[in-house]
Structure 1
């Protein structure tokens, strides 16, 4: 059998893109797997910030919400409180060890699913909101993931990209400087959200919170 032709110069390379994506997922799993058990102990005071960020989603009783990259499940209790017993809370993560911690810490709070946020096993327009804490910094292909989150949400749904500390504080924590190409910076994030089906309507970046709130556009 002859080899498959190579993509023309400048053309998309789906096989290469998928291979790179799979490799990045493996690195993400390896990073978080070894840290899952002690993750919450490292950041014991973040709970009120999660509560405040979840409140910006404007969830109603009976709503359907995804915690994308749910980790150990810190957002799951306030999400459940917001949608009530008749609502749906779905926690998705690519790291089994993180999901184990989420289930152990918050039993019965959410349906937990081992899945890739860029390839969700969900129907179109299934959700009213998406909460994503720290997710965007770990995406190798943000365009792909944000389009997928748009696919599974209804028009008018709300997306909250959150971190309990702002960009400058996080960079200082890791001993690095902010750079102009930081995806979370408003001038970079706004056009990306627009191109992937979202309208950025609130942006906060202070030492004690990062929150980019966007609304799912029609179409």
Structure 2
């Protein structure tokens, strides 16, 4: 395990028990972002870095009972919180690293990733691994319930030009990783980048 992974696990383990209570009003934003993936009944979708599983219900509703929903997270305490919240009933939860997914190539129709990209130690290879498990034409939603400026302000920081989520940085990064950026929104109320898996 890398030092970055250890830091991420320590950060989220310490906050897992109270994570949902800290952000009680984010549900509608998660639902809207999941809707943006334009999933169909029977589709297979991954919630990458699913945390406490707050998107799983919306993803399950979109793919229906015949669809497949998988939530993957690096931090066991977050998955335990998801189980306590009953969200394991919406999909299969796996303790795994998004950099090495235990899924076969092209198995999925879409990936939902809330707050994930800023925690990736190697964004290019990690986004390529997400591309590996998605069929050509499948979709990726990189989401955060508030925009970059609001999030930076929350943490007492400023947005910098090297922010991986900035469109001029994200577009070529996705392109090199097997994705085409299709839609980009960075407002006060949400960050949402939608991309399509290239052939």
- Structure 2 CA distance for aligned equivalents of residues 124 and 103 of structure 1: 27
- Residue deviations 1:122-155 (CA, integer Å, cap 9, x gap): 1100000000000000011001110100100000
Structure 1, gaps ≥5 residues long:
1-20
Partners of 2:191 and 2:104 in 1: CA distance: 30
Deviation at 1:192, TM superposition (A): 0.3
State the distance in 1 between where 2:13 and 2:68 align: 26
- Output one character per residue of 1:155-182: Cα deviation in whole Å (capped at 9) or x when no partner: 0000000000000000000001111000
More relative contact order in 1 or in 2 (CA 8 Å, sep 6+)? 2
Task: Name the SS for the 1:154 alignment partner.
Answer: strand
Report the Cα distance in structure 1 between the residues aligned to 2:107 and 2:84, rounded to whole angstroms.
Answer: 27
1:92-107 matches, within 5 Å, as: 92-105=72-85, 106-107=87-88
1:151 aligned to 2:132? yes
> 1:40 maps to what in 2?
20
Matching of residue 167 in structure 1 with residue 125 in structure 2: no
* Alpha-carbon displacement from aligned partner over 1:6-38 (angstroms, at most 9, x marks no partner): xxxxxxxxxxxxxxx621111110110010000
The size of the alignment, in residue pairs, is 198
After superposition, residues 40-119 of structure 1 pair within 5 angstroms as 40-105=20-85, 106-119=87-100
Secondary structure of the residue aligned to 2:101 is coil
Q: Which 4+ residue blocks in structure 1 deviate beyond 6 angstroms?
A: none
The TM-score, its normalising length taken from structure 2, stands at: 0.98
Write out aligned runs for 1:20-35 (5 A): 22-35=2-15
CA distance in 2, matches of 1:51, 1:132: 13
* Matches of 2:88 and 2:4, distance apart in 1: 29
The equivalent residue for 2:114 is 133
Compute the TM-score of the two structures, normalised by the length of structure 1: 0.89
Q: Which of these two proteins has the greater Rg computed from alpha carbons? A: 1
Q: Distance in 2 between matches of 1:201 and 1:108?
A: 32
